[in-house]
Amino acid sequence: MSQTTTDQGTRKAGGAGIVPVLAFAGIVVAVMQTLLVPVIKDLPELLSTSPSNATWVLTSTLLSGAVATPIMGRLGDLFGKRRMLLTSLSVMVAGSLVSAFTSALMPMIVGRTLQGFAMGAIPLGIGLMRDMLPREKLASAMALMSSSIGVGGGLALPLAALVAEHTTWHALFYGSAGLGVISIALTLLVVPESPMRAEGTFDWLGAIGLSAGLVLLLLPITKGSDWGWSSGTTLGLFGGAVVVLLLWGLMELRVKAPLVDLRTTARPAVLFTNLASIMVGVSFYVVSLVLPQLLQLPSSTGYGLGQSMVVAGLCVAPLGLTMMFTAPVYARISAKYGPKVTLILGMLIIAIGYGAGLGLMSAAWQTIVISVVLGAGIGLAYSSLPALIVGAVPASETGAANGLNTLMRSIGTSVSSAVVGMVLANTANHVGGVAIPTMHGFRVSFLIATGAVALGLLFAIFLPKQRQAAKPQLRASSEEDAALQRAQEILGGFRGRVLNADGVPVARAKVTLIDRRGRQAGATLSADDGSYALAVPAQGAYVLAAKATGHGPLASSATHAGDDRPVDLDLALPGETVSA
């Protein structure tokens, strides 16, 4: 009993600090991504290499982040989300230090590749929040975590520009390493490990196949403008990506414990959320690419705003700040209307922002207005995505599912970078051998973003309406368990009480729902009166496994018809276990 009491005390003690600490980890990841934006144009000179080679410093981070995100999410589900979060941050710190001590191309690429592994922190943080926080705090917490990429990116731009202008550019990496160490220390002190674990083993072959497919896909997207979009290398890599990902998908459907459950991913709620995520990623990155260039172009061009690197960063910073402030707004709107409505509202605001931006590019204050409007829309959209995913997948798949969703956003930003880069290059004026982006190119880029938002809005409209019971199933108080049970009475599922051999209720017992394939379909903790409630993803046969400190484990078979009627099933644990 003392172990259970201690665990509950840990949750209550850590609950107050979990959200800011995990959100800070997300901001650190965003800072790492945005670190080199102020010195991108100077990288060839700083690294004594050609411009095409210098782009690998950015491409390597993108590729490693894309590969690490779904893999770290699945590892977190299996072995502990806090453990994998600390691993991600530690690898990022190591990469920052490698980059800080070099001015050579290859070591810099190695360091940036290691930094990219930190991208796994976002889905891991969302998964920890789902497992550890009470329901009334979860919506705004996940919204803040999901928006942390934009928040950190917006704040990092002016700070990185200030550092780059007044100190050595290596100081950017020392700062990144320091932030990573602080994040690790705070996580160790404040965030407890989640008790939730998925069944099965890690799919190493699936991880290798997905990694190969993503690299083959993202390489031509990011380097196509350098290699030529119709070149044999670009087309060959695209073709290889199709073949590898197709074979990987067929293999994942046959594996008992796949890296990504494609059957779950194919559910309309998950599929359309991921498709919308790609479009949100496109819209987010366009403004990050266009506005800093517009602000820094000399006024002698007739349309450039002639601002310094630092001022340009400050003008774009409201994008991230507004995303941060939309998290509590999202929680209120979503609580009343649901995350689907919030996603649609966010998309509409983004469309308004880009539409207005077509005519608001002639003064620095106008770029601030664009940043604020777009920040509000992107913040609402980003905040909705994890809630939609969490409400559509079993608790045991939270990390992997959110990892895949974060990957979809990364693919969106990659596509955005490639397309906008191609547009600006093809519409540029060449003066003295230097390509100068034109206002026409900026406006075409905004039109592309508007089209992506329109497509994302269409995907959002097709999302099925979520039922109110599709809430996280691991709770921290009897009051929340009672609320969950009332919700389950609407949806249906299994409910009852966990009792000991004498019929006395057992509090804080872990009840796990296992489907016919042997996979965990849900989990919860019994309330103070022993009551529990679990939703079922579909009709069929299940096993309910219960265990608690001082009692033997119990496994009970049961069948659910898949309708709205709950099945009552009490679980009587055997007597206290006695060690030999």
pLDDT of residue 201: 79
pLDDT tens digits for range 74-128? 888 888 889 999 999 999 999 999 999 988 889 998 999 999 888 888 888 888 8
**Rounded to an integer, what distance in angstroms lies between the CA atom of residue 413 and that of residue 408?**
9
pLDDT of 476 strictly over 70: no
Q: What average pLDDT score do residues 330-335 get?
A: 76
Q: Which of 37-46, 98-107, 183-192 has the lowest mean pLDDT?
A: 37-46
Q: How many percent of the chain have pLDDT more than 70?
A: 86
Tell me phi and psi for residue 360, to 5 degrees: -120, 70
Which of 398, 395, 384 has its CA nearest to residue 463? 384
Alpha helical stretches, state H, 167-307 = 171-190, 204-227, 232-254, 262-265, 268-296
What is d(CA 399, CA 260) in angstroms, rounded to the nearest whole number? 10
291 band by pLDDT with thresholds 50, 70 and 90: confident
* Distance in angstroms (rounded) separating the CA atoms of residues 376 and 337: 18
pLDDT score recorded for residue 504:
83
pLDDT at residue 397, as a whole number: 67
Distance in angstroms (rounded) separating the CA atoms of residues 192 and 354: 42
Confidence of residue 184 (pLDDT cuts 50, 70, 90): very high
Averaged pLDDT, 468-479: 41
Lowest-confidence region among 23-32, 290-299, 326-335: 326-335
Statement: residue 388 has pLDDT above 80: yes
pLDDT above 50 (res 297): yes
Of residues 517 and 158, more confidently modeled: 158
Q: Return the exposure string of 64-99: e unless at least 16 CB atoms fall within 10 Å of the residue's CB, then b.
A: bbbbbbbbbbbbbbbebbbebbbbbbbbbbbbbbbb
| CA atoms of 244 and 128, how far apart (whole Å) | 32
On average, the pLDDT of the chain sits at 79
201 in the Ramachandran plot: left (φ > 0), alpha (ψ -120 to 50) or beta? beta
Radius of gyration from C-alpha coordinates of the chain: 25
Q: How far apart are CA 383 and CA 346, in angstroms?
A: 9
pLDDT of residue 433: 65
At residue 15, the pLDDT reads 53
Residue 239 has pLDDT above 70, yes or no: yes
553 has pLDDT over 60: yes
Contact 428, 411 (CB under 8 A): no
Over range 169-193, report the average pLDDT.
Answer: 91
Phi, psi of 394 (to 5 degrees): -60, 155
Across 488-498, average pLDDT: 67
Structural domains in the chain plus CATH codes: 2-203+255-461 (1.20.1250.20), 480-572 (2.60.40.10)
Contacts of 504 (CB under 8 A, 6+ apart): none
Helix/strand/coil percentages in the chain, nearest 5: 70, 10, 25
**Segment 176-187 mean pLDDT:** 93
User: Which amino acid belongs to residue 19?
Assistant: V
Sign of CA dihedral 339, 342, 346, 351: positive
* Per-residue model confidence (pLDDT) at position 185: 95
pTM, two decimals, is 0.67
At 569 the pLDDT is 86
The predicted pLDDT at position 578 comes to 41
pLDDT in tens, 196-230: 777 677 888 888 888 888 888 888 877 777 788 88
For residues 297-301, give the mean pLDDT. Answer: 83
- Closest of 353, 349, 380, 350 to residue 366, by C-alpha: 353
Q: How far is CA 289 from CA 147, 209, 423, 442, 543, in A?
A: 18, 32, 12, 9, 52
* pLDDT for 400: 67
State yes or no: pLDDT of 300 exceeds 50: yes
Please, which pLDDT band fits residue 16 given cuts at 50, 70 and 90? low
pLDDT of amino acid 3: 36
Q: How far apart are CA 317 and CA 461, in angstroms?
A: 31
Among 179, 180, 183, 177, smallest CA distance to 97 is for 177
395-434 pLDDT, tens digit per residue, is: 666 666 777 787 788 788 778 777 887 788 788 787 766 6
pLDDT, residue 550, reads 80
Q: Which of these ranges, 10-14, 249-253, 324-328, has the smallest mean pLDDT? A: 10-14
